[in-house]
Amino acid sequence: MTSRMAARCALAAALLGVGFTFGCNGFVGEWGILDGFGKKFQVVETGNTRDQVIAAIGPPVRESTVFRLPQREGYEALFQEARESHASSFLYWDTGIDEVAVVGLDAGGRVVFKCRAGT
């Protein structure tokens, strides 16, 4: 093995090591199953207050009175569920490329809906 090839192998091994070491803590954020956000999002439950949600997963990137996802096709059931939840506001977190996490709050500021979806 030439020294140049050995250096490339060492670099590849180092990059894989970094990926495996930090992957489960959000290094690979596009992979929802590996990110730290997903673990935090799982603790959000119906009935939690807005403050409890933000304490658990951090401040949202936006808020709206309208439920939106990166696409509607394929997510009709989530749109229906959001509508039936009677949420009056929705908090949004960007969790990857064209992927969002959403928490719906009722007029009293309590969780009545949550989902994670993307294209």
| Domain edges within the chain | 35-118
pLDDT for position 112: 98
- Say if domain 35-118 classifies as CATH 3.40.50: no
Residue of higher predicted confidence among 72 and 15: 72
- Tell me how far apart the alpha carbons of residues 106 and 113 are, in angstroms, rounded to a whole number: 9
- Dihedral (C-alpha) 74, 80, 86, 90: value to the nearest 10 degrees? 10
* Choice among 2-11, 25-34, 104-113 with the minimum mean pLDDT: 25-34
pLDDT band at 107 (very low <50, low <70, confident <90, very high): very high
pLDDT > 90 in the chain, percent: 59
Residue of higher predicted confidence among 69 and 3: 69
pLDDT for position 30: 46
Would you say residue 115 has pLDDT above 90?
A: yes
Would you say residue 24 has pLDDT above 60?
A: no
Q: Facing residues of 99 across strands? A: 96, 118
- Tell me how far apart the alpha carbons of residues 27 and 101 are, in angstroms, rounded to a whole number: 18
